Amino acid sequence: MTVLKASRRKASTKAEQRAEMIEQILDAAELLFSRHGLYGVTLKDVAKQVGVHHTLINYYFDDKKALFNEVFARRAVVTSERRMRMLEEYEKASAGRPTVEGALRAFLDTDLDLYIEGGESWKNYGALASQVANTPEWGAAMMDEHFDPVVLRLIGLLKQALPDSAEEDIFWGYHFVSGALMLTLARTGRIDKLSGGLCHSEDFAAVKQRMSTFMAAGFLAICRRELTA
């Protein structure tokens, strides 16, 4: 009995060590990919960042693209599930009468909170996601795989909020929302320079305060234009 318990403790420790090493690899790769992109990083770069031999990276991941995919998927599932849950809760709370801004806040604010509360690692992921979203060769397929269900859930709520609007206007509205969100996540620093330091691309709290209200007004403007044309 004592030997069995000792064996289980040892196995558990090995499993924990393996999990910890994988997390270290993913964190290091996430940081590097967020700064240099898929093609600007090698497995040796990741190994150097972790402080291990590059063969250890190959032991856990078949190649660089497999590592990249795992880095992206790790947090994609968190943000997607969290936003889906908030959209469902908002729909129930709105009792069949959602507003454009309410739906956008459930979608956008929930996501922005992850970057506000999650620290630098989540901000690195945000920068990485903005790269993926702007890489049509293979990034679009990744975005489709991980985010289509939650995006379509948002679209469904917006259709409820704007029942007389042209469907294409709602999709264009989401297109503009997505573009603004991806630029925000990229943290380019451009707004810092343009505003002379008045605004900061790192200030996700300021973005959260304004983005949903701004985008809701845009939705209403283009939809009302069609109805009054």
Helix (H, G, I), strand (E, B) or coil at 197: coil
If pLDDT is split at 50, 70 and 90, which confidence band does 225 have?
low
pLDDT of residue 152: 98
Residue 193, sorted as left (phi over 0), alpha (psi -120 to 50) or beta, turns out to be alpha
Alpha carbons 85 and 17: distance in angstroms, whole number: 32
Residues 97 and 210 reside in one and the same domain: yes
Q: Looking at the predicted structure, is the pLDDT value of residue 135 above 90?
A: yes
pLDDT of residue 14: 81
Residues sharing a CB contact under 8 Å with residue 85, sequence separation 6 or more, in sequence order:
none
pLDDT of residue 5: 46
Whether the CB-CB separation of 96 and 160 falls below 8 Å is answered with yes
Instruction: Give the CATH number for residue 2.
Output: 1.10.10.60
Count the domains in the chain: 2
Q: What percent of the chain has pLDDT over 70?
A: 93
Of 61, 96, 111, the position where a domain reaches its end is: 61
Residues sharing a CB contact under 8 Å with residue 115, sequence separation 6 or more, in sequence order:
122, 123, 126, 185, 204
pLDDT of residue 13: 83
DSSP 8-state code for residue 137: T
Of 61, 85, 107, the position where a domain reaches its end is: 61
pLDDT tens across 170-209, in order? 999 999 999 999 999 999 999 999 999 999 999 999 999 9
Residues sharing a CB contact under 8 Å with residue 1, sequence separation 6 or more, in sequence order:
none
Alpha carbons 140 and 133: distance in angstroms, whole number: 6
Mean pLDDT of the chain: 92
> What is the Cα Rg of the chain in Å?
21
- DSSP for 64-75, written as a single string: HHHHHHHHHHHH
Residues 51 and 127 reside in one and the same domain: no
Q: Which domain holds residue 151?
A: 69-228
Residues 100 and 171 reside in one and the same domain: yes
Of 61, 82, 111, the position where a domain reaches its end is: 61
Alpha carbons 7 and 13: distance in angstroms, whole number: 10
Residues 145 and 115 reside in one and the same domain: yes
Q: Looking at the predicted structure, is the pLDDT value of residue 141 above 50?
A: yes
